[in-house]
Structure 1
């Protein structure tokens, strides 16, 4: 069994701090943010020290109606090999919808959206997971996600949904206790009941993260300190099973290294408190028990690495995929294209989700194309949100940045000549068949003009 210990999410902004941080047994890296042939030196140094690096995918969309894209699976497998990872993780979510399956425009969410806990969705998810498992060289673990809205007419609880997923596919689970808290606040789901229904023997590791509450809605930001309720859920989980690994996630608004170390200390304390309770019960899974219930490689365990489930149902048929695809396309279109909210959904919550998706688009485009906020100055965010209201994302964030710039360059758009000239130069540099040379002096001139 893979015992990971205590880890932290590796991000370029805190790379030096992570390297210097004591007590870090492993790190997790967003798979799509690294290139197999050009790994960051920080990750290479960590690997040389024996620190395990696990890639965490965000773009497969295994909960979507379509079969997993072979190119994305190949890319993920390449990152596994480059990092020497013993495990790879993804999410129980859909991230795109529409296209040929539904004869509707293809749309990208740019975010992890919840799948309905229905038999149709479970059949499709199990089929997609088996396809992914066949393409990946190491065991796969899937994460439960946070959500702002619920699907009407759900047929299964989260525990039932995950238990059957594990039973039918042998996949492992990445349990995010912060997401359990989010779903408690936003959807009224009891974290204790969710934990009681989980197949804890299949847990590969655990995520812990912070967020914030606004207007009665919890936002899973990964940019705020871990709150006490999340630590309490972690203690509750650790009182049921010794988690093989626990990882602190932080994606933005990074604090000083000392604060990160204090958060890691609080995480360790929460696990220790749970372990003490577990040890007092004498149940399998207590610390040091060789028959630990958290061992996904134990004999006969349905979560063993890559083991095919016995008697698994046949792959989901085209009619099932089409039904799910139509439903997901209607939901995503209402969130990003302004079409009516499907019947049965909470319109207020869908509005919150739509605004959150647009804000995330603006933030991520500003990161992948940092020149655009420089060129547009204080008008960047308003211009982007106006663009996002009428033009959904269809090809990822980098393409979104190009499409946004192209939108602003259309005839009749009000801009001063200098801004338009700089924007056109940037667009030509990024969109041409080969990158046009753009020296440091040119970039410096842009920054000086906007200072």
Structure 2
């Protein structure tokens, strides 16, 4: 399929109302009246597609792979292996398009474990545009990219969010996945006018819309995907629908899943909002421009240095780069550590069970200056070793023995130097 043909195919795609498919709610999703689902691409193994997704596909439900790991806003060009994996998932699921985020997720050897905002500067835009062209040319179906939520902004930004996305579409012809919950998050956290952003967006490029919940903590809105959709986000969805008819709207929920009836109620509210606000227009075809000017390597080098300094401050205890709000970066660092702890807790559920109420605080203390570099299973082992070395107050003897055995069992045939015996030999209160 040519790029132009792909653009026309997506422009004519009518998805309807859908929900993010997650293993924890797979059975409930199969019982729901949904037109389509979205699955996290990195969680789908092409050789072992979950039976639930296969059953949905068999009954005609569209499945869209939603990537989180490409890092299209990073200084490096997209990794060919990650692009090939995303392409393979699109093909095995028979998807009409794939989606990713306008974000960076790594810099040098540092991994964020989350989506971080790109600088809305001319230079940052040029790098993003070239990365999107590379990705688009490597995929068998059209690409749509999503605006993200942010807890902080870059200094000296030159464009509003709406202007940035407008120019991105104008230069690349990429489709947009507009997350109205993220627009609301950025309005609360950064003072950006979400309705103005809608007025500035090229809604003719709209592929579909995300809706999700969050929570306000200490004046900062956290886009948790673990809370009900608030009225303000539904109102923003209505504002979008008054301007353009969205080809599809999807409810995202990633954690603290409620009963199926509550999810169905949120889907009904989304459908009613769309019907009550629908514009009498449909999107136009956006044909990607041919080629594009190459980005000078100096621009990528500057962006790489800036992103590395920022990520070091967030995940490795580095200094706050000049121009950033130190308080907001502290909030973001805490959020990153908390999310990382949640993932490690799912990869190694024995750890939160063994440590109980101490787990969350202990993991945040560990993660503050120890970046994620070897994957989450390695992270779980390193965290356990850290707790055994540095727990304050000391672990009860029973917990220490259990955690030592857990670490030894999962460290391979040769435990770390001096590991279990050293930890067992430490003085600890009995219990």
Task: Give the Cα separation in 2 of the matches to 1:123 and 1:88.
Answer: 22
Partner of 2:225: 222
Partner of 2:135: 132
Give the conservation status (yes or no) of the 8 Å contact 1:206–1:243: yes
| Number of residues of Structure 1 aligned to a counterpart in Structure 2 | 402
Q: How does 1:12-411 map to 2 (within 5 A)?
A: 12-22=23-33, 24-97=34-107, 99=108, 106-275=109-278, 278-279=279-280, 285=281, 292=282, 294-295=283-284, 298=285, 301-302=286-287, 307=288, 309-310=289-290, 312-314=292-294, 316-408=295-387
| CA deviation string 1:250-274 (max 9, x = no partner) | 1111111111111111111111122
TM-score by length of 2: 0.89
Q: What SS does structure 1 have at the residue aligned with 2:96?
A: coil
RMSD of aligned Cα (Å): 1.9
Give the conservation status (yes or no) of the 8 Å contact 2:333–2:368: no
Give the conservation status (yes or no) of the 8 Å contact 1:29–1:56: yes
Q: What SS does structure 2 have at the residue aligned with 1:235?
A: helix
TM-score by length of 1: 0.85
Task: Give the Cα separation in 2 of the matches to 1:208 and 1:234.
Answer: 8
1:176 CA displacement: 0.1
Task: Give the Cα separation in 2 of the matches to 1:336 and 1:401.
Answer: 16
| CA deviation string 1:105-164 (max 9, x = no partner) | x21111111001011111111111111112211111100000011111011111221112
Partner of 2:4: none
Partner of 2:403: 423
Partner of 2:15: 4
Give the conservation status (yes or no) of the 8 Å contact 1:61–1:95: yes
Consecutive unaligned residues of structure 1, counting only runs of 5 or more, are 100-105, 280-284, 286-291, 435-451
Task: Give the Cα separation in 2 of the matches to 1:433 and 1:19.
Answer: 43
Structure 2 CA distance for partners of 1:90 and 1:226, relative to 1, 3 Å: same
Structure 2 CA distance for partners of 1:433 and 1:268, relative to 1, 3 Å: farther
1:430 CA displacement: 4.0
1:183 CA displacement: 0.5
Task: Give the Cα separation in 2 of the matches to 1:85 and 1:227.
Answer: 30
Structure 2 CA distance for partners of 1:311 and 1:132, relative to 1, 3 Å: closer
Q: What SS does structure 2 have at the residue aligned with 1:206?
A: strand
1:397 CA displacement: 2.7
Task: Give the Cα separation in 1 of the matches to 2:150 and 2:89.
Answer: 28
Task: Give the Cα separation in 2 of the matches to 1:412 and 1:15.
Answer: 38
Task: Give the Cα separation in 2 of the matches to 1:355 and 1:107.
Answer: 16
Partner of 1:432: 412
Task: Give the Cα separation in 2 of the matches to 1:63 and 1:141.
Answer: 14
Give the conservation status (yes or no) of the 8 Å contact 1:369–1:398: yes
Give the conservation status (yes or no) of the 8 Å contact 2:178–2:206: yes
| CA deviation string 1:54-73 (max 9, x = no partner) | 11111111101111112211
Q: What SS does structure 2 have at the residue aligned with 1:146?
A: coil
Give the conservation status (yes or no) of the 8 Å contact 1:110–1:397: no
Structure 2 CA distance for partners of 1:138 and 1:13, relative to 1, 3 Å: same
Task: Give the Cα separation in 2 of the matches to 1:146 and 1:412.
Answer: 34
